[in-house]
């Protein structure tokens, strides 16, 4: 889809697979698989996943390799460390992996001090009975299972972005119905204000004034890699990794690590993933 679209969809159609005979399975294996699909032209990520799956790795392992390559490259500045500062200037990581064979999911949300989101998500899946770990607990778990950290996830670019935003009186931001509505906090509820989807509309009854502001979510400040892989055995897995929306309120978790919201995999049906305005997408579980 065009780069300006609010939603990038990667539905790996992935076939409604009827049960296969051995001969059919062989044919499918040799002719159609593996398959690697990702949101955006994140070619290096797709290549990394392809190298893994082509060499016999499972779909889950390939998804981890693919998303991990994007984290290392900091794809678009919105995946991995060093991007998307929140209101406090801090970068946090969200990631998910789902195995379409076992329906197991591992995910981390608002993870601090650890840069390897998809690997952390995979560790949650492999070494715990949980599905989602959040915040500092996620970091502690990831580090205890062998990932490097704690480390500083900021970069000179994210610090610059954040200080420019502060200088611009913290505009734009994700607050609504608060005062002040045109400056940095601390914020307080303001029941006189209204907000409509995608833009902030402040109505002042006394002055009869309506002010429109541009939407905050655009192609370069919210994005996620969402990837689906079918391995040589015909098994499917999906994964996502992101550092979330730029200038989000600290604690915000978007669609990325929420299963069915950013991606979903089921060997008997297929796999789906997307990126977009996570705060809206996650209300509908579109990929489930």
**Residue (52 or 236) nearer to ligand NAG, CB:** 52
The backbone torsions φ and ψ at residue 38, rounded to the nearest 5 degrees and listed phi first, read -140, 160
**Residue (81 or 271) nearer to ligand NAG, CB:** 81
**Residue (49 or 258) nearer to ligand NAG, CB:** 49
The Cα 204–Cα 181 span in angstroms is 12
- Pick the binder of ligand NAG from 11, 159, 184, 193 (CB under 6 A): 159
Partners of 240 in the beta sheet? 96, 226
**3-state SS track over 200-236:** EEEEECCCCEEEECCCCCCCCCCCCEEEEEECCCCCE
For 233, other C-beta atoms within 10 Å of its C-beta total 16
Q: Please tell me which residue in 8, 202, 224, 242 is annotated as part of the active site.
A: 224
- Pick the binder of ligand NAG from 5, 27, 55, 144 (CB under 6 A): 55
The Cα 70–Cα 88 span in angstroms is 24
**Residue (17 or 151) nearer to ligand NAG, CB:** 151
Q: Is 151 in the site for ligand NAG (CB under 6 A)?
A: no
- Within the chain, residue ranges assigned H as helices are 22-32, 43-54, 59-73, 117-127, 135-144, 156-167, 278-281
Q: Give min distance, CB of 53 to ligand NAG, in A.
A: 10
Q: Is 156 in the site for ligand NAG (CB under 6 A)?
A: yes
102 an active-site residue?
no
**Residue (150 or 192) nearer to ligand NAG, CB:** 150
Q: Find all residues with CB under 8 Å of 152, minimum gap 6, and list them.
A: 113
- Pick the binder of ligand NAG from 102, 128, 152, 168 (CB under 6 A): 152
Q: Give min distance, CB of 37 to ligand NAG, in A.
A: 21
Do residues 149 and 115 make contact, with C-beta atoms less than 8 angstroms apart? yes
Q: Stretches 26-34, 123-131, 152-160, 238-246: which one binds ligand NAG (CB under 6 A)? A: 152-160
**Residue (160 or 220) nearer to ligand NAG, CB:** 160
Q: CA-based angle 133:119:8, to the nearest 5?
A: 85
Q: Is 155 in the site for ligand NAG (CB under 6 A)?
A: yes
Q: Stretches 49-57, 108-116, 199-207, 229-237: which one binds ligand NAG (CB under 6 A)? A: 49-57
Q: Is 154 in the site for ligand NAG (CB under 6 A)?
A: yes
Tokens 């929140």 correspond to what residue? Answer: 86
Q: Token digits for 174?
A: 């994700």
DSSP reduced 3-state for 4: coil
Q: Is 163 in the site for ligand NAG (CB under 6 A)?
A: no
Q: Is 16 exposed, middle or buried (0-12, 13-18, 19+ CB in 10 A)?
A: exposed
Q: Give min distance, CB of 148 to ligand NAG, in A.
A: 15
Q: Which DSSP symbol is given to 21?
A: P
**Size of interface with ligand NAG, in residues (CB under 6 A):** 8
Q: Between β-strands 132-134 and 105-111, what pairing exists: parallel, antiparallel or unpaired?
A: parallel
Judged by the rule CB under 6 A, the positions of this chain that interact with ligand NAG are 51, 55-56, 152, 154-156, 159
Residues taking part in catalysis: 224
């Amino acid at each position: 889809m065009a780069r300006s679209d609010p939603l990038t969809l990667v539905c790996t159609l992935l076939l409604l697979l009827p049960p296969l005979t051995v001969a059919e399975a062989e044919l499918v294996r040799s002719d159609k698989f593996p398959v690697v699909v990702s949101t955006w032209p994140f070619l290096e990520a797709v290549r990394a996943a392809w190298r893994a799956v082509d060499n016999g790795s499972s779909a889950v392992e390939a998804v981890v390799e693919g998303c991990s390559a994007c984290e290392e490259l900091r794809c678009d500045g919105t995946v991995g460390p060093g991007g998307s500062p929140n209101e406090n200037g801090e970068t946090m990581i969200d990631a998910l992996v789902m195995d379409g064979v076992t329906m197991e999911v591992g995910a981390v949300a608002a993870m601090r001090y650890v840069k390897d989101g998809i690997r952390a998500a995979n560790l949650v899946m492999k070494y715990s009975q949980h599905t989602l770990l959040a915040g500092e607990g996620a970091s502690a778990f990831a580090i205890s299972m062998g990932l490097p950290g704690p480390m500083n996830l900021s970069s000179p670019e994210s610090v610059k972005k954040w200080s420019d935003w502060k200088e611009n009186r913290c505009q734009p931001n994700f607050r609504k119905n608060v005062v002040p509505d045109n400056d940095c906090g601390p914020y307080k509820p303001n029941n006189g204000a209204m907000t409509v989807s995608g833009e902030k509309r402040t109505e002042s009854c006394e002055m009869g004034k309506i002010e429109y502001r541009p939407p905050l979510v655009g192609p370069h400040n919210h994005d996620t890699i969402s990837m689906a892989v079918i391995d040589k055995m015909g098994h499917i897995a999906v994964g996502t990794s992101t550092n979330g929306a730029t200038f989000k309120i600290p604690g915000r978790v978007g669609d990325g690590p929420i299963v069915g919201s950013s991606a979903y995999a089921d060997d008997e049906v297929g796999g789906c993933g997307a990126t977009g305005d996570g705060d809206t997408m996650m209300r509908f579980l579109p990929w489930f």
